A and B are shown apart, each in its own frame.
Chain A
Amino acid sequence: MATQTKASAQRDNPKWEMVVDLDRCTGCQACVIACQAENNIPINEESAFHEHRAIQWIRIERYWEGEFPDVKARFLPLLCQQCDNAPCEPVCPVFATYHNNEGLNVQVYNRCVGTRYCGNNCPYHARLFNYWEPVWPEDLRNQLNPDVTVRTRGVMEKCTFCIQRIRRATRGGEPVEDGTLQPACAQACPTSALVFGNSNDPDAKVSRLKTDERHFRVMEHLGTDPSVTYLKQVDVDG
């Protein structure tokens, strides 16, 4: 009976969440590159960064703690927080973004008309707008992921928690075993700082870690109720 309840909780009502252990993150940006490759993200040239129009579904926020010479580099991988109370959703005039029953904040590209209200209302700057038609060099044509739509100019996009992988894993209807389903960023992370899983499964690693004593959520005071939890040891000396 217990296993059946667990199985049905996993299968029928998964809630996808992520835990980011900042004490493990070295800021190597492997997640950024992995995401770029997995999700057909257009190539950002330097000018795009200068204009703050670069598209990165996950990015490393680097900041410094302390004064030179006692300075410490801190890294914070920031991706769409898949907020349960998402500020981006109510402002979309065409319902191109909504919350689905797996706790995912979904962006429907073909509905999006590009008002950018959602991006402006996102406190995490996790939503990115396609200001240009994406182009890839000829020899990279065949590396595009066929499971992911190539977004056109004029639509918003953001981290999907690699929904194409979730769809593939849940397709058979069997419960997803914890740890077998990973988004590209978590898979690429050399220090396993990113942990992904179904938080409705009490035995999942993500469920245990999110209640770790080091946990906090970014800008929680805004009431967005994010699905991404961060872990950080408070550095009393720092």
Chain B
Amino acid sequence: MNSRLIKIAVPVVGASVLLVVAFVGWFVLSAWWSNPPPVLGFGEGPEQPIAFPHTVHVSDAGLDCQFCHRTVSTDEAATIPAVAQCLFCHGFDKIDGRLSTSGTAQEELAKLIADLGEPQEPINWNRVYRLPDHVQFVHAPHIQQGISCSTCHGEIGTMQVVKQVRNLKMRDCVDCHRDNGAPTDCSICHY
């Protein structure tokens, strides 16, 4: 009886351990070479304090990226607009989500207005794209060279929740720089 149990248990346990090891190995290796594979929620973008839909703003309203991300063509960072800038459109009860079909727009906009209370605090958005500290990425020259935002950020206009679409490992950057004749001097990015 006992030996029979062992005979079954050993291969089962062995196979499951092997499976777990293979899964972890596959996950680590793919994350090393590229983005983590879309399992266990890794393919999703982070949840944001306000469910800002790029779909509505880009695809439906037809806003240009630079309408909100104003410094992208001149500075290092594209910057997330201040709450006050959201109110250029959403203030004065002009666009208050009443026309929204999903029904959550008014709730989310209420959160936006709440952020204007005292003390005024910026919205604590969760970062989607993160580069290591030793990389100095500057948006401006890329935009000035006519690289479109979607080259790196994907079709943001179709994303309900923004997620990282490109792995942006150094190989990814250098390949693109080579293909476009951009400098590949280390000190262009690392200083």
Contact = CB atoms under 8 A, between A and B. Distances in A.
Chain A complexes with chain B: yes
B83 interface: no
Interface in B124-182: 132-134, 136, 138, 140-141, 144
Given A106-B191, A148-B191, 17 more contacts: A98-B186, A100-B186, A100-B187, A101-B185, A104-B187, A108-B190, A109-B190, A146-B76, A147-B136, A149-B133, A149-B190, A149-B191, A164-B136, A167-B188, A171-B138, A171-B141, A172-B144
Contacts of A147: 76, 136
A150 interface: yes
Contacts of A109: 134, 190
B54 to A, nearest CB: 26
Nearest to A172: B144
Interface in A127-180: 146-150, 160, 163-164, 167, 171-172
> Which one of A100, A110, A163 has the highest number of Cβ atoms from chain B below 10 Å of its Cβ?
A110
Interface of B: 76, 132-134, 136, 138, 140-141, 144, 185-188, 190-191
Chain A to chain B: the 6 pairs with minimum beta-carbon distance, closest first: A106-B187, A110-B134, A163-B191, A149-B134, A108-B186, A108-B190
A200 to B, nearest CB: 17
A172 B75 CA distance: 11
Contacts of B191: 106, 148-149, 160, 163-164, 167
A172 B138 CA distance: 12
A153 to B, nearest CB: 13
A148 B188 CA distance: 12
Contacts of B144: 172
Interface in A101-124: 101, 104, 106, 108-111
A110 B136 CA distance: 12
A171 B190 CA distance: 15
A148 B136 CA distance: 8
A172 B191 CA distance: 19
Contact of B190 (A101, A110, A146, A150): A110
A43 to B, nearest CB: 19
Given A100-B185, A109-B190, A167-B188, A150 B133 contact: yes
A171 B76 CA distance: 11
A108 B133 contact: no
A111 B133 CA distance: 13
17 contacts: A98-B186, A104-B187, A106-B191, A108-B186, A108-B187, A109-B134, A110-B132, A110-B134, A147-B76, A147-B136, A149-B191, A150-B133, A163-B187, A164-B136, A167-B136, A171-B140, A172-B144
Contacts of A104: 187
Nearest to B185: A100
A167 B141 CA distance: 11
A91 B134 CA distance: 23
Contacts of B134: 109-110, 149
